[in-house]
């Protein structure tokens, strides 16, 4: 079923985002008097096609990994004299800029729409109360402690751990001081702690910002009673069964599943002895843990899971907005995520973030499937973030992307005449090389994650 969700989720996500992006180009082109020859969603063999009264051919093609709008243009073929005024290349530089910019702008508008709907639907947030702090960690040195509730990071208010994580992500790879405001138990006045960071999580392939500070969020205790098993995992192979209760790990007693998880993750391919209680009887199972990930991200894997614990009502808060207030939230989130995307790209170029954080189609498909499977709200979140990424990436000043065309037109506007065809051709070759290189890197990262 998860594979089906992946395929359907990816097709729906790309279909919606690509269609909206290309519709932006199409709509503005029509308003500027350009004749649109074809509007295609997907590449390759057409599955469905039809024409409208303006003579535009609409196509849904077999490969749903993109799309395009083909306009009348003298650079791509002969144009009848009576249609010259409707050719793209005959339009003013400002009209061409508007047509090219319309695609990415459409993606930002779509993200705003999704965030607006989500803000009105509301969400349940877990109060960001610190469960424990690792000794000698940046958080411990700054004075953060168990029981404190995080209310702001770098001056930005947060409602839950997702907000904390988002604010911390902005500081990845940086050196300096991170401001964390917390409420002590029974206090209503926030105390501000300065957390010192240095090239923070710079080379981490899968950075964990909250854990990277040495903070463990508070969570309800979960009994280590096995509720699910990976059929190909080491736990199943060693004879662990559904309903077994873990009572010890390498001779040390365990009462909380999270303790088991943290110790297992620290021992990739380690040999362990599990103390198990089954039907009132105790026995010991010896096994060798599997390993997941590579390098510093390599962790131990048991292949077993438990049923989730119940969160106390006082640890949860509902966050929602009315139609008007939701507009502000949507605009703010879209702006923040756009800046975060740009900042992350800059840090990768400067070496402050690992390029292994780049994701390609395989990871996108996995996230699309997981978000679709978990509900409409999560899927809308995913679509909004992906739409913003598509908008930002397309605005980068790289030839072959919308941003590259905008760069050429801006230069034309300043110079009063376009760049020579030879210069533009060189730019296109460089742009294609960059885009293909990044796509291959992202694909390699995807394959390594498998």
Show which residues are catalytic: 22
CA angle 406, 407, 413 (to 5 degrees): 85
β-sheet bridge partners, residue 70 = 38
Token pair 């050429």 is found at: 408
How many Å apart are CA 351 and CA 242, to the nearest integer? 46
CA distances from 87 to 14, 30, 320 (A): 29, 11, 48
Token pair 């997702």 is found at: 162
Q: Which residues contact 151 (CB under 8 A, 6 or more apart)?
A: 128, 157, 158, 181, 182, 183, 190
Closest CA to 180 of 138, 123, 126, 134: 138
Provide the CB-side half-sphere exposure for 8 (13 A, CA). Answer: 10
φ and ψ at 77, to 5 degrees? 155, 170
- Which DSSP letter does residue 295 get? G
Q: Which residues contact 60 (CB under 8 A, 6 or more apart)?
A: 40, 41, 42, 46, 47, 48, 49
How many Å apart are CA 77 and CA 228, to the nearest integer? 62
Closest CA to 139 of 210, 223, 232: 210
Greatest Cα pair distance, the chain, in angstroms, is 91
Q: How far is CA 322 from the centre of its chain?
A: 26
Beta strands in 240-303 (DSSP E): 245-249, 252-253, 271-278, 281-288, 290-292, 299-301
Q: How does DSSP assign 70-110, residue by residue?
A: EE--GGGS---GGGGGG-GGGS-HHHHHHHHHHHHHHHHHH
For 375: left if phi > 0, alpha if psi spans -120 to 50, otherwise beta; the answer is: left
């Amino acid at each position: 079923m998860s594979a089906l969700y992946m395929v359907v989720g990816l097709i729906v996500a790309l279909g919606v985002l690509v269609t909206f992006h290309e519709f932006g180009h199409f709509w503005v082109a029509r308003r500027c008097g350009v004749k649109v020859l074809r509007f295609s969603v997907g590449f390759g063999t057409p599955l469905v096609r039809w024409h409208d009264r303006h003579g535009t051919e609409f196509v849904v093609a077999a490969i749903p990994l993109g799309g395009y709008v083909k306009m009348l243009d003298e650079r791509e073929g002969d144009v009848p004299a009576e249609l010259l005024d409707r050719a793209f290349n005959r339009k003013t530089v400002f009209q061409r800029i508007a047509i090219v910019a319309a695609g990415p702008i459409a993606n930002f508008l779509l993200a705003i729409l999704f965030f607006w709907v989500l803000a009105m639907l509301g969400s349940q947030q877990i109060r960001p109360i610190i469960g424990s702090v690792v000794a000698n960690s940046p958080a411990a040195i700054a004075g953060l402690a168990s029981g404190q509730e995080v209310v702001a990071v770098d001056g930005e208010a947060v409602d839950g751990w997702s907000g904390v994580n988002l604010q911390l992500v902005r500081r990845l790879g940086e050196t300096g001081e991170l401001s964390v405001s917390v409420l002590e138990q029974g206090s209503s006045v926030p105390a501000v702690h300065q957390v010192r960071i240095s090239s923070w999580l710079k080379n981490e392939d899968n950075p964990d910002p909250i854990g990277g500070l040495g903070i463990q969020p508070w969570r309800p205790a979960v009994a280590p009673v096995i509720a699910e098993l990976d059929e190909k995992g080491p736990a199943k192979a060693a004879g662990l069964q559904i309903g077994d209760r873990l009572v010890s790990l390498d001779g040390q007693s365990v009462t909380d599943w999270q303790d088991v998880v943290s110790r297992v993750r620290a021992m990739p391919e380690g040999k362990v002895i599990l103390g198990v209680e089954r039907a009132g009887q105790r026995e010991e199972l010896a096994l060798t843990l599997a390993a997941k990930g590579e390098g510093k991200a390599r962790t131990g894997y048991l292949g077993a899971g438990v049923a989730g614990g119940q969160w106390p009502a006082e640890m949860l808060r509902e966050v929602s907005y009315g139609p008007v207030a939701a507009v502000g939230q949507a605009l703010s989130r879209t702006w923040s995520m756009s800046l975060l995307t740009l900042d992350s790209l800059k840090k990768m170029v400067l070496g402050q973030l690992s390029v292994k954080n780049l994701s390609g189609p395989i990871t996108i498909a996995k996230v699309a499937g997981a978000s679709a499977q978990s509900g409409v709200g999560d899927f809308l979140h995913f679509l909004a973030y992906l739409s913003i990424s598509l908008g930002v990436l397309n605005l980068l000043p790289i030839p072959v992307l919308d941003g590259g065309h905008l760069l050429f037109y801006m230069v034309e506007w300043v110079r009063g005449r376009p760049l020579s065809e030879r210069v533009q051709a060189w730019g296109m070759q460089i742009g294609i090389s960059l885009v293909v290189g990044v796509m291959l890197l992202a694909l390699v990262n995807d394959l390594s994650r498998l």
